[in-house]
């Protein structure tokens, strides 16, 4: 049977980390603000290329569905508002 031994070395408190400096912000900290801004815009363009854009027919269909839905909601709110206002007039007049 083999014996399992723990060979992990733990650094002593107060000891140096073998001359390594801690990283400050990784790769992003090395770039200037203009380079980061350019990277940001390149990433935006790359994401926009992944988008599946609707066709003209799909867009007109979606638009008409939204307009019809909004008109229905407007009519519903109008009916409820008119009914409540008439009820208040009847109660308080």
pTM for the model? 0.50
Question: Tokens 């650094």 map to which residue?
Answer: 11
Closest CA to 18 of 28, 27, 9, 29: 9
| pLDDT at position 36 | 92
User: How confident is the prediction along the chain (93 residues), in pLDDT tens digits per residue?
Assistant: 566 665 665 566 665 555 666 655 555 557 788 999 999 999 999 999 999 999 999 999 999 999 999 999 999 999 999 999 999 999 998
Non-local (6+) Cβ contacts of 39 within 8 A are 31
């Amino acid at each position: 049977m083999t014996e399992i031994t723990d060979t992990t070395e733990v650094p002593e408190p107060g000891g140096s980390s073998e001359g390594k400096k801690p990283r400050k912000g990784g790769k992003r900290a090395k770039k200037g603000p203009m380079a980061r801004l350019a990277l940001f815009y390149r990433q935006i363009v790359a994401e926009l290329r992944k988008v599946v854009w609707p066709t003209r027919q799909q867009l007109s269909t979606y638009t008409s569905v939204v307009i019809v839905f909004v008109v229905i909601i407007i009519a519903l709110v109008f009916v409820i508002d008119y009914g409540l206002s008439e009820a208040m007039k009847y109660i308080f007049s």
